[in-house]
Structure 1
């Protein structure tokens, strides 16, 4: 029965917005051949979305095309990674030119692009965050940030928030707080977590707590200061007093908005309070901007700016390279000096091609006003999604800023129990059938993640909402 339901196509179908691109004809291996190769030669722990694997052949801006040429609106952006659009012609042109000039040069030598890009990237950061380390992934960036913090403070303890995701290296696995990403091996020592200040699902929170166009439907009496933020901060202090050695923390890590955790936003002033407390002890504050950075949250270029803080270390990846394997760590000269206690080297960090991509992404964000577009289209999307929360009992919460959006699905609004997996998967399948790709996340895998290329239009946003409405209508009537 489940398989029959998953293959059913709903009668109400949304109309895809116009696109002038005609995809190239696919001539490669069949889906069956690809599946066989995947089973035999690829990492068996890689999870494939959908009942029938989705095989992508071509991309253009906010659009993706499968092997048969079917078009999809990509509202997941390759897991919040495609920032300026698939196959952007300016990036393709810049990369081709650079490859024809110099494809690789170790950073033990001078080459123009690493110097130009480090300067341009530092100019986008506030204050004295002027030293840039180039690496290849967000996990690697956070791993390096831990090393920097420990070398600088000469302390070992590191704290993060429950429900966070900071990577999957052996060290960042201990920093991440989600059992889905914990292998049954001895975890690295010195890592601690504190209560996640989730104003929808947590102990405290209400409808005045979030910096978002859409508030949770829980009631609160907050006026001048968010009381939920105070209570969660007290839990943080308790964690320090009870579990962390008296020498104190080397680093506190926080995403500006939790990404994999389901676009969870923190109560107003919570991050600022934690920041103030850890700075008093000499602890390094690390802002993980892997998903929230580069204009995605709309009002600011960096997510941490909405919290009113200036971190000691900023880690970034994903949107920095529009899908190219590029990441970076930014810090102060003082903190960076601590890493000279031994030699540090990265073979591919600052590669001429990757730096060219990074430079071009910065140019496109500015030239096409993509940060402003994230704010305008993202606010519209959030407000339209909030109407679905009012209409459907399965929609428990809508949250986010700009084009970093989460929709939490529940069995009913009263209990907030996660929606049954079969219903969630059916909704997911309907979205795909109607040409919409969305992600999922959250501790219980019940949050729809909408983090598209920042070039999407209001028409695209309306299409996404219409498809979700169709899907919610079907699972409500099934």
Structure 2
């Protein structure tokens, strides 16, 4: 079984040898001629199958002809990446080149690609029973619901199993409106809560909006972003790395928090009725670019929402299952207790699954009608998700997220201090954002073409990361939670080299 490597903190240069002509042990990497000062890609003992499928040209022809047109827009790279196989933190393309995956299918692969334990659980269930629905009583759904509930605080013990994060959030919207008898829902600007018709109302990014009436009754309030927002200082965030903005607040007092709370109060006064249904918030914004709020903001916001009759909903689609390191759930880092928690992505390590967890009182109100989901919580999904939780506990992925993530952020902060185009480094655990700017004085977003240049260079040196933020200006590092300190050192070496190259060409 895969074992996580030792994660003792060490200088960057001591963790991995400099690249040599021999190359890594596990097939060939993407590095055709690595720079002399670039660390070697860490080895792995897994050998992928040789690709024998369609040609790249045929794959792209089908992509253009038979796949929906949006799929061409979201092809990340100028030179598309043709993925063939994965194992733990590694991916291989059809040419056999190996990549360190630090985006995990958008923070979805939690314990590792094709993790042996999870794969074994899936294979065993496939031979026993692939599908039936919860009109029957079958063990795997009940075993999993009990296991998931045991990892949530009281009174969050009633579970609805779904197929995705968007479905989970739509279900939570419906629950909140029915329970409260109110309609309006508040979310942050820059938030992302899904792309289905109702969830689009929660999502506050232009790229995901259509010029039709969808997601009615949703209002966006100012995001308490302490780097790009109007207010922020050097002690605001629950993160090992703070902003470089000056802070003159007295001990125990946060002016930025107070000002952002005033903005929320103004939203109540101007944009919604006297009673609302709910307030949605990601503990750390995902697609928004790993944006963090002042430490006590959610605690105070929850109080205001509840005074208005609303439910507090934590979207844990990206922050859940130990990714933030300090806690199993992102909301726990804010010292709050939501009324509803939504989740997906890491819940199934890449298998399509989601969940909504709430209280018995809210669930009983929702039982006025019949809620039925054909595939939600089917035997295969539950067996996989159950194995994912077991693997997290056995391999200490939450602790690994904290240790490796803290190391990455601490080292990235040194790059921020060195390069004028790195404006901010933030996050918790393995939910990390690096915001790129034209220069620190203006904090204007680095233009898309410049982001693309750096992004492509990082890929060509063997690492896959993501992008986010309102302007696509933030690099997102959200890897499988099995990565090691050696992997982190390799990433830091590559990232540093990509910034050096960009600055030299600038």
Q: TM-score range by the shorter chain?
A: over 0.9
Kept in 2, the 8 Å contact 1:263–1:404? The answer is yes
Give the equivalent residue in structure 2 for 1:118: 145
Give the equivalent residue in structure 2 for 1:376: 403
Give the equivalent residue in structure 2 for 1:429: 456
Give the equivalent residue in structure 2 for 1:476: 503
**CA deviation vs aligned residue, 1:388-428 (integer Å, no higher than 9, x gap):** 10111110000000000000000000001111222211111
Give the equivalent residue in structure 1 for 2:191: 164
Supply the distance in 2 between the matched residues of 1:255 and 1:188 (Cα, whole angstroms). 18
1:249 match: secondary structure = coil
Give the equivalent residue in structure 1 for 2:57: 32
Kept in 2, the 8 Å contact 1:212–1:400? The answer is yes
Give the equivalent residue in structure 2 for 1:279: 306
2:160 match: secondary structure = strand
**CA deviation vs aligned residue, 1:412-460 (integer Å, no higher than 9, x gap):** 0000111122221111111111100000000000100000000000111
Deviation at 1:310, TM superposition (A): 0.7
Give the equivalent residue in structure 2 for 1:174: 201
The equivalent position to 1:326 in structure 2, one of 336, 353, 357, is 353
Kept in 2, the 8 Å contact 1:13–1:434? The answer is no
Change (3 A) 1:470 1:21: same
Kept in 2, the 8 Å contact 1:9–1:433? The answer is no
Supply the distance in 1 between the matched residues of 2:262 and 2:295 (Cα, whole angstroms). 14
**CA deviation vs aligned residue, 1:160-215 (integer Å, no higher than 9, x gap):** 01000000111110110000100121233211111000000000001010010000
Give the equivalent residue in structure 1 for 2:477: 450
Runs of 4+ in 1 over 3 A off after TM superposition: 7-14
Kept in 2, the 8 Å contact 1:396–1:413? The answer is yes
Supply the distance in 2 between the matched residues of 1:40 and 1:225 (Cα, whole angstroms). 58
**CA deviation vs aligned residue, 1:51-109 (integer Å, no higher than 9, x gap):** 11101101010000000110000000110000000010111111111111111011111
9-18 or 444-453, larger mean C-alpha shift: 9-18
1:383 match: secondary structure = helix
Give the unaligned 5+ runs of structure 2.
1-31
- RMSD of equivalent CA atoms: 1.3
Supply the distance in 2 between the matched residues of 1:13 and 1:303 (Cα, whole angstroms). 35
422-431 or 165-174, larger mean C-alpha shift: 422-431
Deviation at 1:11, TM superposition (A): 7.3
Give the equivalent residue in structure 2 for 1:4: none
Give the equivalent residue in structure 2 for 1:92: 119
Supply the distance in 2 between the matched residues of 1:8 and 1:163 (Cα, whole angstroms). 40
1:395-434 equivalent positions in 2, closer than 5 A: 395-434=422-461
Count matched residues.
471
86-95 or 273-282, larger mean C-alpha shift: 273-282
Change (3 A) 1:8 1:143: farther
1:260-409 equivalent positions in 2, closer than 5 A: 260-409=287-436
2:141 match: secondary structure = helix
Supply the distance in 2 between the matched residues of 1:139 and 1:406 (Cα, whole angstroms). 23
Give the equivalent residue in structure 1 for 2:269: 241
The equivalent position to 1:229 in structure 2, one of 257, 273, 286, is 257
1:35-184 equivalent positions in 2, closer than 5 A: 35-46=60-71, 47-184=74-211
Supply the distance in 1 between the matched residues of 2:147 and 2:185 (Cα, whole angstroms). 30
Supply the distance in 1 between the matched residues of 2:215 and 2:414 (Cα, whole angstroms). 44
Give the unaligned 5+ runs of structure 1.
1-6
Q: TM-score, normalised by structure 2?
A: 0.92
The equivalent position to 1:21 in structure 2, one of 41, 46, 51, is 46
Deviation at 1:336, TM superposition (A): 0.6
Give the equivalent residue in structure 2 for 1:464: 491
Kept in 1, the 8 Å contact 2:198–2:216? The answer is no
Kept in 2, the 8 Å contact 1:10–1:474? The answer is no
Deviation at 1:243, TM superposition (A): 1.2
Supply the distance in 2 between the matched residues of 1:407 and 1:75 (Cα, whole angstroms). 13
**CA deviation vs aligned residue, 1:316-367 (integer Å, no higher than 9, x gap):** 0000000000000000000011111211100001100000011000000000
Change (3 A) 1:245 1:282: closer
Change (3 A) 1:10 1:446: farther
Change (3 A) 1:476 1:17: same
Supply the distance in 1 between the matched residues of 2:356 and 2:253 (Cα, whole angstroms). 33
1:115 match: secondary structure = helix
Q: TM-score, normalised by structure 1?
A: 0.97
